[in-house]
Structure 1
Amino acid sequence: MNARVNDEPASVSLTEQAYAVLRDRLVMLEIKPGEPINEDRLRTELGVGRTPIREALKRLEQERLVVAFPRRGTFATDVNISDLSHISEVRRTLEPLAAAAAAERATAQDRTALTDLRSRLDTAAPTGDNTELLRTDVGVHRAIYGCVHNPFLEDTLISYDNLATRIWCVFLPRLSGMAGHVDEHVPLLTAIIEGDAKKASELASQHVIGFEQAIRALI
Protein backbone atom coordinates (compact mmCIF):
# COMPACT_ATOMS: atom_id res chain seq x y z
CA MET A 1 0.00 0.00 0.00
CA ASN A 2 1.48 3.34 -1.04
CA ALA A 3 0.56 6.42 0.96
CA ARG A 4 2.26 9.75 1.26
CA VAL A 5 1.14 11.56 4.36
CA ASN A 6 1.49 14.88 2.51
CA ASP A 7 -1.78 13.99 0.77
CA GLU A 8 -3.62 14.30 4.11
CA PRO A 9 -5.37 17.53 5.19
CA ALA A 10 -2.92 20.27 6.15
CA SER A 11 -4.71 20.69 9.49
CA VAL A 12 -3.40 17.29 10.59
CA SER A 13 0.22 17.26 11.77
CA LEU A 14 2.81 15.19 9.93
CA THR A 15 3.25 13.09 13.08
CA GLU A 16 -0.49 12.37 13.23
CA GLN A 17 -0.52 11.49 9.55
CA ALA A 18 2.48 9.17 9.86
CA TYR A 19 0.94 7.61 12.97
CA ALA A 20 -2.38 6.89 11.20
CA VAL A 21 -0.69 5.23 8.21
CA LEU A 22 1.65 3.11 10.33
CA ARG A 23 -1.07 2.21 12.84
CA ASP A 24 -3.39 0.84 10.18
CA ARG A 25 -0.62 -1.13 8.48
CA LEU A 26 0.31 -2.68 11.81
CA VAL A 27 -3.32 -3.39 12.73
CA MET A 28 -4.07 -5.11 9.41
CA LEU A 29 -0.76 -6.99 9.60
CA GLU A 30 0.49 -5.38 6.39
CA ILE A 31 3.57 -4.93 8.55
CA LYS A 32 3.99 -8.48 9.80
CA PRO A 33 4.38 -9.34 13.50
CA GLY A 34 8.06 -9.30 14.39
CA GLU A 35 8.99 -7.40 11.24
CA PRO A 36 11.58 -4.63 11.70
CA ILE A 37 10.45 -1.05 11.12
CA ASN A 38 12.73 0.57 8.56
CA GLU A 39 12.62 4.28 9.40
CA ASP A 40 14.58 5.40 6.35
CA ARG A 41 12.28 3.53 4.00
CA LEU A 42 9.22 4.94 5.73
CA ARG A 43 10.59 8.49 5.50
CA THR A 44 11.00 8.08 1.75
CA GLU A 45 7.70 6.32 1.23
CA LEU A 46 5.61 8.70 3.36
CA GLY A 47 7.49 11.84 2.41
CA VAL A 48 8.21 13.05 5.94
CA GLY A 49 11.27 13.72 8.06
CA ARG A 50 12.79 11.66 10.83
CA THR A 51 10.96 13.40 13.69
CA PRO A 52 7.34 12.60 12.61
CA ILE A 53 8.26 8.94 12.12
CA ARG A 54 9.96 8.65 15.49
CA GLU A 55 7.17 10.47 17.31
CA ALA A 56 4.61 8.20 15.65
CA LEU A 57 6.60 5.13 16.67
CA LYS A 58 6.76 6.31 20.29
CA ARG A 59 2.97 6.52 20.35
CA LEU A 60 2.60 3.14 18.66
CA GLU A 61 4.91 1.62 21.27
CA GLN A 62 2.64 2.92 24.04
CA GLU A 63 -0.25 1.20 22.24
CA ARG A 64 1.62 -2.12 22.11
CA LEU A 65 1.83 -2.17 18.32
CA VAL A 66 5.60 -1.82 18.13
CA VAL A 67 8.45 -2.54 20.50
CA ALA A 68 11.87 -0.86 20.56
CA PHE A 69 15.09 -2.59 21.60
CA PRO A 70 18.30 -0.65 22.34
CA ARG A 71 20.85 -1.00 19.52
CA ARG A 72 18.53 -3.39 17.65
CA GLY A 73 15.77 -1.13 16.41
CA THR A 74 11.98 -1.09 16.41
CA PHE A 75 9.81 -4.07 15.48
CA ALA A 76 6.11 -4.81 15.03
CA THR A 77 4.91 -6.62 18.13
CA ASP A 78 3.97 -10.27 17.98
CA VAL A 79 0.31 -11.25 18.07
CA ASN A 80 -0.20 -13.42 21.14
CA ILE A 81 -3.45 -15.35 21.11
CA SER A 82 -3.02 -15.75 24.86
CA ASP A 83 -3.86 -12.02 25.12
CA LEU A 84 -7.39 -12.67 23.82
CA SER A 85 -8.86 -13.13 27.30
CA HIS A 86 -7.32 -9.91 28.62
CA ILE A 87 -8.36 -7.86 25.59
CA SER A 88 -11.87 -9.28 25.63
CA GLU A 89 -12.26 -8.60 29.35
CA VAL A 90 -11.60 -4.90 28.75
CA ARG A 91 -13.78 -4.74 25.63
CA ARG A 92 -16.71 -6.50 27.30
CA THR A 93 -16.77 -3.59 29.76
CA LEU A 94 -15.94 -0.64 27.52
CA GLU A 95 -17.75 -1.44 24.25
CA PRO A 96 -21.25 -1.54 25.80
CA LEU A 97 -20.42 1.60 27.78
CA ALA A 98 -19.30 3.38 24.62
CA ALA A 99 -22.34 2.30 22.60
CA ALA A 100 -24.71 3.56 25.29
CA ALA A 101 -22.80 6.84 25.59
CA ALA A 102 -22.85 7.27 21.81
CA ALA A 103 -26.63 6.78 21.77
CA GLU A 104 -27.00 9.46 24.42
CA ARG A 105 -24.40 11.97 23.24
CA ALA A 106 -24.34 11.74 19.45
CA THR A 107 -25.00 15.12 17.82
CA ALA A 108 -27.40 15.63 14.94
CA GLN A 109 -24.38 15.65 12.62
CA ASP A 110 -23.13 12.39 14.17
CA ARG A 111 -26.50 10.72 13.66
CA THR A 112 -26.60 11.83 10.03
CA ALA A 113 -23.13 10.39 9.45
CA LEU A 114 -24.09 7.11 11.16
CA THR A 115 -27.27 6.95 9.08
CA ASP A 116 -25.20 7.27 5.91
CA LEU A 117 -22.84 4.59 7.16
CA ARG A 118 -25.74 2.27 7.98
CA SER A 119 -27.17 2.78 4.48
CA ARG A 120 -23.85 1.83 2.90
CA LEU A 121 -23.65 -1.31 5.03
CA ASP A 122 -27.27 -2.21 4.29
CA THR A 123 -26.90 -1.88 0.51
CA ALA A 124 -23.36 -3.19 0.08
CA ALA A 125 -23.03 -6.09 -2.32
CA PRO A 126 -22.01 -9.37 -0.70
CA THR A 127 -18.26 -9.90 -0.74
CA GLY A 128 -16.04 -12.77 0.18
CA ASP A 129 -13.11 -10.48 0.85
CA ASN A 130 -12.56 -10.92 4.57
CA THR A 131 -9.82 -8.29 4.67
CA GLU A 132 -12.10 -5.63 3.24
CA LEU A 133 -14.89 -6.68 5.58
CA LEU A 134 -12.54 -6.34 8.52
CA ARG A 135 -11.55 -2.83 7.37
CA THR A 136 -15.25 -1.99 7.34
CA ASP A 137 -15.63 -3.40 10.85
CA VAL A 138 -12.77 -1.20 12.10
CA GLY A 139 -14.27 1.86 10.40
CA VAL A 140 -17.68 1.33 12.00
CA HIS A 141 -16.16 0.93 15.45
CA ARG A 142 -14.15 4.12 15.10
CA ALA A 143 -17.22 6.03 13.88
CA ILE A 144 -19.13 4.93 16.99
CA TYR A 145 -16.24 5.80 19.30
CA GLY A 146 -16.18 9.32 17.87
CA CYS A 147 -19.79 9.81 18.94
CA VAL A 148 -18.87 9.26 22.59
CA HIS A 149 -17.19 12.69 22.68
CA ASN A 150 -14.69 11.61 25.31
CA PRO A 151 -11.16 11.68 23.84
CA PHE A 152 -9.69 9.58 26.65
CA LEU A 153 -12.28 6.84 26.27
CA GLU A 154 -12.08 7.06 22.48
CA ASP A 155 -8.31 6.54 22.48
CA THR A 156 -8.64 3.57 24.83
CA LEU A 157 -11.40 2.00 22.73
CA ILE A 158 -9.42 2.39 19.51
CA SER A 159 -6.32 0.92 21.13
CA TYR A 160 -8.07 -2.24 22.29
CA ASP A 161 -10.04 -2.60 19.05
CA ASN A 162 -6.72 -2.41 17.19
CA LEU A 163 -5.30 -5.23 19.29
CA ALA A 164 -8.44 -7.32 18.77
CA THR A 165 -8.32 -6.68 15.03
CA ARG A 166 -4.74 -7.97 14.84
CA ILE A 167 -5.98 -11.24 16.31
CA TRP A 168 -8.80 -11.31 13.74
CA CYS A 169 -6.19 -10.87 10.99
CA VAL A 170 -4.24 -13.93 12.10
CA PHE A 171 -7.33 -16.07 11.60
CA LEU A 172 -8.81 -14.33 8.51
CA PRO A 173 -7.98 -17.16 6.07
CA ARG A 174 -9.89 -19.60 8.27
CA LEU A 175 -12.79 -17.40 9.33
CA SER A 176 -16.28 -17.99 8.02
CA GLY A 177 -19.27 -15.76 8.62
CA MET A 178 -17.24 -12.55 8.57
CA ALA A 179 -19.97 -10.81 6.58
CA GLY A 180 -22.48 -11.69 9.29
CA HIS A 181 -20.19 -10.26 11.94
CA VAL A 182 -20.03 -6.96 10.06
CA ASP A 183 -23.79 -7.00 9.38
CA GLU A 184 -24.35 -7.00 13.15
CA HIS A 185 -23.46 -3.33 13.03
CA VAL A 186 -26.69 -2.38 11.25
CA PRO A 187 -28.99 -2.87 14.28
CA LEU A 188 -26.28 -1.43 16.55
CA LEU A 189 -26.07 1.72 14.44
CA THR A 190 -29.87 1.91 14.42
CA ALA A 191 -30.00 1.81 18.21
CA ILE A 192 -27.41 4.58 18.47
CA ILE A 193 -29.12 6.72 15.83
CA GLU A 194 -32.46 6.34 17.63
CA GLY A 195 -30.91 7.14 21.01
CA ASP A 196 -31.70 3.74 22.52
CA ALA A 197 -28.79 3.46 24.95
CA LYS A 198 -29.95 0.19 26.55
CA LYS A 199 -30.35 -1.58 23.21
CA ALA A 200 -27.05 -0.22 21.92
CA SER A 201 -25.26 -1.48 25.01
CA GLU A 202 -26.77 -4.96 24.69
CA LEU A 203 -25.90 -5.25 20.99
CA ALA A 204 -22.33 -4.07 21.55
CA SER A 205 -21.91 -6.65 24.29
CA GLN A 206 -23.18 -9.42 22.03
CA HIS A 207 -20.83 -8.28 19.26
CA VAL A 208 -17.74 -8.45 21.48
CA ILE A 209 -18.71 -11.82 22.92
CA GLY A 210 -19.34 -13.13 19.39
CA PHE A 211 -15.84 -12.06 18.36
CA GLU A 212 -14.23 -13.93 21.22
CA GLN A 213 -16.29 -17.05 20.57
CA ALA A 214 -15.46 -17.03 16.86
CA ILE A 215 -11.74 -16.87 17.57
CA ARG A 216 -11.85 -19.48 20.33
CA ALA A 217 -13.60 -21.86 17.97
CA LEU A 218 -10.49 -21.78 15.78
CA ILE A 219 -7.84 -22.07 18.49
Structure 2
Amino acid sequence: MTAASEEHPGNLSMAEKAYLAIRDRLIMLDIPPMTAIDDAALARSLEIGRTPVREALKRLEIDRLVVSYPRRGTFATAVDITDLAYISDLRVHLEPLAARRAAEIAVDADLEEIGGLVDQLDGMDFRSMARDEVMRWDLHVHRTIYHAAGNPHLEDTLIRYDNLATRIFCVFLDRMQDFDSHVMEHSALLRAIGSRKPDKAEQLAREHVLNFDKAMRSLV
Protein backbone atom coordinates (compact mmCIF):
# COMPACT_ATOMS: atom_id res chain seq x y z
CA MET A 1 0.00 0.00 0.00
CA THR A 2 1.41 3.37 -1.03
CA ALA A 3 0.71 6.97 -0.04
CA ALA A 4 -1.59 7.27 -3.03
CA SER A 5 -3.89 4.55 -1.72
CA GLU A 6 -3.91 6.15 1.73
CA GLU A 7 -5.61 9.19 0.26
CA HIS A 8 -8.65 7.08 -0.71
CA PRO A 9 -9.70 5.29 2.51
CA GLY A 10 -13.02 4.25 0.99
CA ASN A 11 -11.13 1.84 -1.26
CA LEU A 12 -9.22 0.17 1.58
CA SER A 13 -9.94 -3.11 3.34
CA MET A 14 -10.73 -3.14 7.06
CA ALA A 15 -7.23 -4.48 7.76
CA GLU A 16 -5.66 -1.62 5.79
CA LYS A 17 -7.83 0.94 7.60
CA ALA A 18 -6.79 -0.58 10.93
CA TYR A 19 -3.16 -0.51 9.86
CA LEU A 20 -3.26 3.19 8.95
CA ALA A 21 -5.16 4.21 12.08
CA ILE A 22 -2.90 2.30 14.47
CA ARG A 23 0.21 3.38 12.62
CA ASP A 24 -0.85 7.00 13.00
CA ARG A 25 -1.30 6.59 16.76
CA LEU A 26 2.13 4.97 17.05
CA ILE A 27 3.90 7.60 14.95
CA MET A 28 2.32 10.49 16.85
CA LEU A 29 3.02 8.74 20.18
CA ASP A 30 -0.69 8.65 21.02
CA ILE A 31 0.23 5.06 21.85
CA PRO A 32 3.33 5.80 23.95
CA PRO A 33 6.54 3.86 23.38
CA MET A 34 6.78 0.54 25.25
CA THR A 35 3.05 0.56 26.00
CA ALA A 36 1.29 -2.81 26.00
CA ILE A 37 -1.26 -2.99 23.20
CA ASP A 38 -4.68 -4.42 24.03
CA ASP A 39 -6.01 -5.51 20.64
CA ALA A 40 -9.57 -5.86 21.95
CA ALA A 41 -9.61 -2.32 23.36
CA LEU A 42 -7.96 -1.01 20.22
CA ALA A 43 -10.58 -2.71 18.05
CA ARG A 44 -13.38 -1.13 20.11
CA SER A 45 -11.84 2.34 19.91
CA LEU A 46 -11.47 2.03 16.13
CA GLU A 47 -14.87 0.35 15.74
CA ILE A 48 -13.13 -2.39 13.76
CA GLY A 49 -13.08 -6.15 14.40
CA ARG A 50 -10.22 -7.78 16.27
CA THR A 51 -9.10 -9.81 13.23
CA PRO A 52 -8.23 -6.73 11.11
CA VAL A 53 -6.49 -5.21 14.13
CA ARG A 54 -4.39 -8.34 14.61
CA GLU A 55 -3.50 -8.35 10.92
CA ALA A 56 -2.51 -4.70 11.19
CA LEU A 57 -0.30 -5.37 14.20
CA LYS A 58 1.57 -8.06 12.27
CA ARG A 59 2.33 -5.53 9.53
CA LEU A 60 3.35 -2.91 12.07
CA GLU A 61 5.83 -5.35 13.55
CA ILE A 62 7.53 -5.51 10.14
CA ASP A 63 7.60 -1.69 10.23
CA ARG A 64 9.37 -1.85 13.62
CA LEU A 65 6.58 0.12 15.25
CA VAL A 66 5.43 -2.74 17.48
CA VAL A 67 7.11 -5.83 18.86
CA SER A 68 5.53 -9.09 20.03
CA TYR A 69 6.84 -11.35 22.78
CA PRO A 70 5.66 -14.91 23.41
CA ARG A 71 3.30 -15.09 26.41
CA ARG A 72 3.76 -11.36 27.07
CA GLY A 73 1.86 -9.73 24.23
CA THR A 74 2.44 -6.88 21.80
CA PHE A 75 4.06 -3.56 22.72
CA ALA A 76 4.80 -0.28 21.00
CA THR A 77 8.52 -0.22 20.29
CA ALA A 78 10.79 2.05 22.27
CA VAL A 79 12.03 5.27 20.71
CA ASP A 80 15.78 4.84 20.90
CA ILE A 81 17.90 7.80 19.83
CA THR A 82 20.72 5.37 18.98
CA ASP A 83 18.55 4.16 16.09
CA LEU A 84 18.81 7.62 14.55
CA ALA A 85 22.24 6.84 13.06
CA TYR A 86 20.88 3.78 11.26
CA ILE A 87 17.78 5.61 10.04
CA SER A 88 19.75 8.64 8.85
CA ASP A 89 22.30 6.41 7.10
CA LEU A 90 19.51 5.19 4.85
CA ARG A 91 17.55 8.42 4.51
CA VAL A 92 20.59 10.48 3.53
CA HIS A 93 20.86 8.35 0.40
CA LEU A 94 17.20 7.66 -0.37
CA GLU A 95 15.63 11.07 0.32
CA PRO A 96 17.92 12.84 -2.20
CA LEU A 97 17.20 10.10 -4.73
CA ALA A 98 13.45 10.61 -4.34
CA ALA A 99 13.79 14.39 -4.58
CA ARG A 100 15.90 14.13 -7.74
CA ARG A 101 13.49 11.71 -9.39
CA ALA A 102 10.52 13.85 -8.43
CA ALA A 103 12.17 16.90 -10.04
CA GLU A 104 12.87 14.88 -13.16
CA ILE A 105 9.65 12.94 -13.71
CA ALA A 106 6.82 14.32 -11.56
CA VAL A 107 3.57 14.43 -13.53
CA ASP A 108 1.42 17.55 -13.80
CA ALA A 109 -0.92 16.50 -10.98
CA ASP A 110 2.04 16.06 -8.60
CA LEU A 111 3.54 19.39 -9.63
CA GLU A 112 0.21 21.09 -9.01
CA GLU A 113 0.02 19.59 -5.52
CA ILE A 114 3.62 20.59 -4.82
CA GLY A 115 2.88 24.17 -5.88
CA GLY A 116 -0.13 24.24 -3.59
CA LEU A 117 1.95 23.00 -0.67
CA VAL A 118 4.53 25.75 -1.23
CA ASP A 119 1.80 28.40 -1.14
CA GLN A 120 0.39 26.99 2.09
CA LEU A 121 3.75 26.52 3.79
CA ASP A 122 4.84 30.08 3.05
CA GLY A 123 1.77 31.40 4.85
CA MET A 124 1.95 29.22 7.95
CA ASP A 125 3.03 30.08 11.47
CA PHE A 126 4.21 26.72 12.72
CA ARG A 127 4.97 28.01 16.21
CA SER A 128 1.28 28.66 16.76
CA MET A 129 0.29 25.15 15.69
CA ALA A 130 -0.22 22.07 17.82
CA ARG A 131 2.51 19.42 17.75
CA ASP A 132 0.41 16.87 15.91
CA GLU A 133 -0.52 19.42 13.25
CA VAL A 134 3.14 20.29 12.64
CA MET A 135 4.04 16.61 12.43
CA ARG A 136 1.23 15.86 10.00
CA TRP A 137 2.41 18.65 7.71
CA ASP A 138 5.92 17.28 7.84
CA LEU A 139 4.66 13.80 6.98
CA HIS A 140 2.42 15.09 4.19
CA VAL A 141 5.23 16.99 2.49
CA HIS A 142 7.57 14.01 2.57
CA ARG A 143 4.91 11.65 1.28
CA THR A 144 4.07 14.01 -1.56
CA ILE A 145 7.71 13.98 -2.66
CA TYR A 146 7.97 10.21 -2.35
CA HIS A 147 4.89 9.72 -4.50
CA ALA A 148 6.07 12.23 -7.11
CA ALA A 149 9.28 10.19 -7.51
CA GLY A 150 7.21 7.56 -9.31
CA ASN A 151 8.79 4.47 -7.75
CA PRO A 152 6.39 2.60 -5.44
CA HIS A 153 9.16 0.51 -3.89
CA LEU A 154 11.22 3.59 -3.06
CA GLU A 155 8.06 5.27 -1.78
CA ASP A 156 7.15 2.43 0.58
CA THR A 157 10.71 2.19 1.91
CA LEU A 158 10.97 5.91 2.57
CA ILE A 159 7.57 6.03 4.28
CA ARG A 160 8.72 3.30 6.67
CA TYR A 161 11.91 5.11 7.66
CA ASP A 162 10.28 8.53 7.74
CA ASN A 163 7.75 7.11 10.20
CA LEU A 164 10.57 6.00 12.50
CA ALA A 165 12.29 9.37 12.19
CA THR A 166 9.02 11.15 12.95
CA ARG A 167 8.63 9.26 16.23
CA ILE A 168 12.04 10.56 17.27
CA PHE A 169 11.00 14.06 16.12
CA CYS A 170 7.84 13.83 18.26
CA VAL A 171 9.86 12.92 21.36
CA PHE A 172 12.13 15.95 21.05
CA LEU A 173 9.85 18.50 19.36
CA ASP A 174 8.97 20.34 22.56
CA ARG A 175 12.67 20.84 23.28
CA MET A 176 13.57 22.18 19.84
CA GLN A 177 14.02 25.93 19.68
CA ASP A 178 13.88 26.23 15.90
CA PHE A 179 11.62 23.39 14.80
CA ASP A 180 9.74 25.82 12.55
CA SER A 181 12.88 26.48 10.48
CA HIS A 182 13.33 22.73 10.03
CA VAL A 183 9.80 22.38 8.67
CA MET A 184 10.21 25.49 6.50
CA GLU A 185 13.19 23.86 4.78
CA HIS A 186 10.52 22.00 2.84
CA SER A 187 9.57 25.17 0.98
CA ALA A 188 12.87 25.51 -0.88
CA LEU A 189 12.96 21.76 -1.53
CA LEU A 190 9.46 21.76 -3.00
CA ARG A 191 10.28 24.80 -5.13
CA ALA A 192 13.33 23.03 -6.55
CA ILE A 193 11.21 20.00 -7.44
CA GLY A 194 8.42 22.15 -8.87
CA SER A 195 10.84 24.06 -11.10
CA ARG A 196 12.48 20.80 -12.21
CA LYS A 197 15.93 21.41 -10.76
CA PRO A 198 17.06 17.88 -9.85
CA ASP A 199 20.57 18.81 -8.69
CA LYS A 200 19.19 21.46 -6.35
CA ALA A 201 16.42 19.19 -5.09
CA GLU A 202 18.90 16.41 -4.39
CA GLN A 203 21.21 18.79 -2.50
CA LEU A 204 18.41 20.28 -0.40
CA ALA A 205 16.97 16.88 0.48
CA ARG A 206 20.38 15.68 1.67
CA GLU A 207 20.89 18.83 3.74
CA HIS A 208 17.42 18.42 5.23
CA VAL A 209 18.18 14.91 6.48
CA LEU A 210 21.60 15.92 7.82
CA ASN A 211 20.14 18.97 9.58
CA PHE A 212 17.49 16.80 11.21
CA ASP A 213 20.09 14.31 12.39
CA LYS A 214 22.25 17.11 13.80
CA ALA A 215 19.30 18.77 15.54
CA MET A 216 18.18 15.56 17.21
CA ARG A 217 21.69 14.71 18.40
CA SER A 218 22.12 18.16 19.91
CA LEU A 219 19.17 17.51 22.22
CA VAL A 220 20.45 14.24 23.67
Q: How many Å apart are 1:130 and its aligned residue? A: 6.0
Q: Does 1:154 align with 2:158?
A: no
Q: How many Å apart are 1:125 and its aligned residue? A: 3.3
Aligned match of 1:66: 66
Q: Would the aligned equivalents of 2:126 and 2:134 in 1 still touch at CA under 8 Å?
A: no
Report which stretch shifted further, 46-55 or 83-92.
46-55
Q: SS at 2:45's partner residue? A: helix
2: CA distance, partners of 1:103 / 1:189: 9
Aligned match of 1:134: 135
Instruction: Give the ranges of 4+ consecutive aligned residues of structure 1 lying more than 2 Å apart after TM superposition.
Output: 125-130
2: CA distance, partners of 1:42 / 1:204: 36
Q: How many Å apart are 1:70 and its aligned residue? A: 1.3
Could you say if the C-alpha distance between residues 111 and 39 of structure 1 is closer, same or farther in structure 2, counting changes exceeding 3 Å? same
Pairwise mapping of residues 31-180 of structure 1 onto structure 2 (< 5 A)?
31-129=31-129, 131=131, 132-180=133-181
Q: SS at 1:68's partner residue? A: strand
For normalisation by structure 1, the TM-score amounts to 0.93
2: CA distance, partners of 1:82 / 1:217: 13
TM-superposition CA deviations, 1:138-181 (whole Å, max 9, x none): 11101111111211111110111111111111112211111111
Give aligned pairs, total: 212
Q: SS at 1:195's partner residue? A: coil
Q: Would the aligned equivalents of 2:66 and 2:76 in 1 still touch at CA under 8 Å?
A: yes
Q: SS at 1:127's partner residue? A: helix
Aligned match of 2:12: 12
Q: Would the aligned equivalents of 1:64 and 1:77 in 2 still touch at CA under 8 Å?
A: yes
User: In percent, how many aligned pairs have the same letter?
Assistant: 51
Instruction: Give the counterpart letter for 2:77 in structure 1.
Output: T
TM-superposition CA deviations, 1:166-219 (whole Å, max 9, x none): 111111221111111111111100111111111100000000000011011111
Aligned match of 2:187: 186
Q: Does 1:195 align with 2:199?
A: no
2: CA distance, partners of 1:11 / 1:126: 32
Q: How many Å apart are 1:126 and its aligned residue? A: 4.5
2: CA distance, partners of 1:116 / 1:13: 30
Q: Would the aligned equivalents of 1:36 and 1:75 in 2 still touch at CA under 8 Å?
A: yes
Could you say if the C-alpha distance between residues 142 and 45 of structure 1 is closer, same or farther in structure 2, counting changes exceeding 3 Å? same
1: CA distance, partners of 2:130 / 2:96: 25
1: CA distance, partners of 2:152 / 2:42: 28
Could you say if the C-alpha distance between residues 202 and 41 of structure 1 is closer, same or farther in structure 2, counting changes exceeding 3 Å? same
2: CA distance, partners of 1:13 / 1:192: 33
Q: Unaligned stretches of 5+ in structure 2?
A: 1-7
Q: Would the aligned equivalents of 1:130 and 1:172 in 2 still touch at CA under 8 Å?
A: no
2: CA distance, partners of 1:9 / 1:204: 29
TM-superposition CA deviations, 1:49-99 (whole Å, max 9, x none): 122111111111001000011121110000111111111111111010010
CA-atom RMSD in angstroms: 1.3
Q: SS at 2:127's partner residue? A: coil
For normalisation by structure 2, the TM-score amounts to 0.92
Q: How many Å apart are 1:128 and its aligned residue? A: 3.8
Q: Unaligned stretches of 5+ in structure 1?
A: 1-7
Instruction: Give the counterpart letter for 2:200 in structure 1.
Output: K
